[in-house]
Structure 1
Amino acid sequence: MPLYALMLAGAVLGFERLVEWQFGALGVIGFVLLSVGVKAKNITCSCVGAVVLTMLIV
């Protein structure tokens, strides 16, 4: 179980670095808002994060 958690944390950090490299600090903020909103089941926070990431991609 600890190995699985460590691998998952590494994957999340790797994805976060990719987003930061590709989209900058605003991309990280959008990703954090999206992940916190999903974790806390807060629709508003999730939507704001998704909109930020969508606007950066477009």
Structure 2
Amino acid sequence: MIKKSKELKDLRDEYFMKMITGALPLSAYDEFVSKWKQAGGEEVVKALNTAYNSK
């Protein structure tokens, strides 16, 4: 999960910085979400929710 979290954070940072600076249009957000899911974003969220709810 830690490795995936770093990969997902790097992906987020890349897309958001490019959208903020205008290098990518805001419509690129849908592409970001697709890549985030492919990189395992939903699994990380599920694991974090499970860990949080088990406290």
Which protein is richer in helix relative to its size?
Answer: 1
Instruction: Compute the TM-score of the two structures, normalised by the length of structure 1.
Output: 0.41
Instruction: Compute the TM-score of the two structures, normalised by the length of structure 2.
Output: 0.43
Higher RCO (CA < 8 A, seq sep 6+): 2
- Larger gyration radius, structure 1 or structure 2: 2
